[in-house]
Structure 1
Amino acid sequence: MTKNRFLGIPTTSITDALGSKNYMDISIKPLKEEWQLAGKAFTVDISAGENISVLEAISKAEAGDVLVIDGKSGTSNAFAGDFIIGLAKTKGLNGVVSNGVIRDIKGTKDLDFPVFCKGTTTAASKKNLIGQLNVPVNVGGVEVNPGDIIVGDADGVVVIPEKNEEEVYQKTIERVKKDEERESQVGEDIEAVQDYLEKFLAEHKQG
């Protein structure tokens, strides 16, 4: 897996830096809570459960990319199983994100390769209605363009527009530092906790 500088940075901090925008629907989560991913989007637009385009995307994507698959929120047929996910891992991709479902969940988990999706099914993929690669897609209510930065962790998936990458990175780092400073100031001191609560409520409480 190619290291991306956003890997390990909390998606919550990135979302704050984005003004609480560009986060995917809560139904799209990692199949294992500890999985994280970050990388440039290689987008795939498919009909629900179609996998020929997924295979084509794996063949053309570069190491470090994240496949972002718009499966039209289909949950009847899997867009991939552990074999296809294994191909993506071997190609050096950084993960898969989709509003569809996979199958062979045990085998997929054993691969230890981050997959974020709506869940699993027993039904195989379909081979009709070939899709498109590297086109704008909408996954989890967020528009994703090829080259956008995708970051995922246990809280969900966030999309950073490619043109705003540096600005969002700097804002995110500032946010993380502020959160760390706040936690260090309060700690486990009950008086510090009470002081923080009183100051916060004085500043924000209405009426």
Structure 2
Amino acid sequence: MINQFKNIPTTCISDVMDGLNNMDPSIKPLKEEYNFVGKALTVKIPVGDNLAVLKAIREATPGDVIVIDAKGDQYRAIAGDFVVGMAKTMGVSAIVVDGVIRDISGTKKLNFPVFCKGTTVASSGKHGIGEINVPISCGGASVNPGDIIVGDADGVVVIPQSDAQTILEKSLHKLKKDELREEQVSGNIDAIKTYIDQMLLK
């Protein structure tokens, strides 16, 4: 099922969920071409302590997406290029954080999907506070361990594990409808006018 979400844009998935499970639009990919899909390995940390992030990397199964509730803090980084490099080596699909990272140049060179609020110069401490595989909030969206997370240039959506099959079917159906509309309408002046007239009559 996860593989089937790979070719569906986040915009399409968001539409079939009525926009209810989107992360805040401030959480963006470091590079526009980044995209990913995978199961959530959740991390809850206090501001300024990233030891639980290291624990998550140690416990991750290849393909997992590490989703971090860093309380939106933009002063202290949850990771730099060294930590992100370890996640990549362990087979993690992506890191998504309601917070920031550092070592921007080195991290970009890794070509590993990192979605965050931005960058900083300050590091985090390692006092050992935090939890993994617990329900969290990330970017205003509820995330439970095992939920399917999809990210691309437009942002990040959370697909509740219990509804994944239904959302997949609806997303595939909508994608086909969108592609058909594009084929029939785009580049055709008369078809564009007809389409707009139909929208105005609704």
Q: Which band: TM-score by shorter chain?
A: over 0.9
Which TM-score applies when normalising by structure 2? 0.97
Aligned to 2:118: 119
Q: Aligned partners of 1:58 and 1:137: how far apart in 2? A: 17
**Structure 1 residue 16 displacement after superposition:** 1.0
Q: 4+ residue stretches of structure 1 with deviation over 2 A?
A: none
Aligned: 1:71 with 2:70 = yes
5+ residue gaps, structure 1: none
Q: CA-to-partner distance for each residue in 1:89-108, whole Å, 9 max, x for gaps?
A: 00111000010100001111
Shift of 1:6: 1.3
Partner of 2:135 in structure 1?
136
State how far apart, in whole Å, the 2-side matches of 1:47 and 1:4 are: 33
Mapping 1:7-86, distance limit 5 Å:
7-86=6-85
Amino acid at match of 2:83: I
Output one character per residue of 1:122-172: Cα deviation in whole Å (capped at 9) or x when no partner: 111212251001000000111100000000011110000001111000000
What is the alpha-carbon root mean square deviation over aligned residues?
A: 1.1
1:188 match: secondary structure = coil
Give SS of 2:118's match.
Answer: coil
Instruction: Give the distance between the partners of 1:25 and 1:34, measured in 2 at CA.
Output: 19
Q: Secondary structure at the match of 1:39?
A: strand
Question: 2: CA distance between counterparts of 1:19 and 1:47?
Answer: 31
Q: C-alpha distance in 2, partners of 1:51/1:4?
A: 30
Q: Provide the C-alpha distance between the structure 2 equivalents of 1:5 and 1:86, rounded to a whole number of angstroms.
A: 27
Aligned to 1:169: 168
Deviations 1:58-83 (A, max 9, x none): 00010000000000111111010000
- Output the amino acid matched with 1:46: I
Unaligned runs of 5+ in 2: none
Between 146-155 and 119-128, report the one with greater CA deviation.
Answer: 119-128
Amino-acid identity (%)? 55
**Equivalent pairs, count:** 201
